[in-house]
Amino acid sequence: MALLELRGVDAAYGPIQILHGVSLHVDPGEVVAVIGPNGAGKSTTFKVVMGLVTRLGGEIVFDGRSLVGERPHRVLGRGLGYVPQGRVVFTTMTVAENLEIGAYLERDRAKIRVAMDEVFALFPRLAERRRQLAGSMSGGEQQMLAMGRALMMRPRMMMLDEPSLGLSPRFVDELFDTIVALARGGLTVMLVEQNAARALEIADRGYVLELGRNRFEGAGRDLLADAEVRQLYLGGAATA
């Protein structure tokens, strides 16, 4: 059974409908990439799952129960983590404080400590900088922190919106390695990327959205090899 399933979801910002009947599913342990042109509704798909935009219709089910009508913090509490686009961290707080905030639904101090140790094991650089202000760190480190903060609730699944945005090549390599490592450790991952070829390389499956509708879906490597997908969405570039 799918861990997350969207069936015919319509969503809007105010009067403007962005999603028109989007359907997708993510099975436990899968890495699923969502790609498509600018304005396709990729970020909106994540936001409607989190309850951050208005859902007009359709069904959203996580772990066998509907997410419809749930507030964002309740979605989080059910084990679905979310890292929005653009390295959103609390810049005037330290690394450790940012991580503690990530666990704000957790009352048990011991569990918070364990979660923080796990994040530090995954990102040793954050451990070195735990007392540093987040705003004084480089973009790559802030992205690590944003991911680490989402991991503090020890979610079953994470949604990552353009995690490689604005990162140097070295950090992009590290970031994708980390996503693969998290997936091997059992975390289910759904990610949006304009670095779509790179995302499809690590994805079990991918969905292509266009103008708020499903356009293609398939195994990551099949989408990568598909001439039309390459031409329309991957810049027509030769296989890396």
Partner 1 sequence: MGDVALDVRDLRKAFGGVHAVDGCSFAVPRGRISGLIGPNGSGKTTTFNLLTGVVRPDAGQVLYGSTDLAGLKPHQIFRLGITRTFQLTRVFREMTVLENMLSVVGLGVPDRAARARAEELLALVNLTTLRGEYGGRLSYGQQKLLEFARALMTDPELILLDEPAAGVNRTLLQHLLDHIHRLQERGKTILIVEHDMSVIMNHCERVFVMDAGVTIAEGLPAEIRRDARVIDAYFGRRRQA
Smaller CB distance to partner 1: residue 106 or 201? 201
Smaller CB distance to partner 1: residue 14 or 69? 14
Measured from the CB of residue 28, what is the shortest distance to partner 1 in angstroms? 30
Measured from the CB of residue 14, what is the shortest distance to partner 1 in angstroms? 8
Measured from the CB of residue 2, what is the shortest distance to partner 1 in angstroms? 27
Smaller CB distance to partner 1: residue 157 or 229? 229
Long-range contacts of 42-46 (CB under 8 A, 24+ apart): 42/161, 42/192, 42/209, 43/85, 43/161, 43/162, 43/192, 44/11, 44/13, 44/18, 44/19, 44/212, 45/6, 45/9, 45/11, 45/19, 45/192, 45/209, 46/82, 46/84, 46/159, 46/161, 46/190, 46/192
* CA dist., res. 223 & res. 172, Å (int): 21
Smaller CB distance to partner 1: residue 8 or 235? 235
* CA dist., res. 91 & res. 21, Å (int): 37
List the one residue out of 154, 234, 221, 155 whose CA is nearest residue 190.
155
Measured from the CB of residue 234, what is the shortest distance to partner 1 in angstroms? 5
Bridge pairing between strands 54-62 and 31-35:
unpaired
Smaller CB distance to partner 1: residue 85 or 178? 85
Measured from the CB of residue 195, what is the shortest distance to partner 1 in angstroms? 8
φ/ψ (deg, to 5) at 155: -70, 160
**Residue 101 in tokens:** 């905030």
Binding interface with partner 1 (CB under 8 A):
13-14, 16, 36-39, 43, 85-86, 136-141, 162, 165-174, 194-197, 231-237
Measured from the CB of residue 232, what is the shortest distance to partner 1 in angstroms? 6
DSSP reduced 3-state for 11 = strand
* CA dist., res. 227 & res. 202, Å (int): 19
Smaller CB distance to partner 1: residue 156 or 230? 230
Report which DSSP code applies to 218: E
Smaller CB distance to partner 1: residue 32 or 172? 172
* CA dist., res. 183 & res. 206, Å (int): 15
List the one residue out of 167, 231, 230 whose CA is nearest residue 200.
230
Measured from the CB of residue 65, what is the shortest distance to partner 1 in angstroms? 30
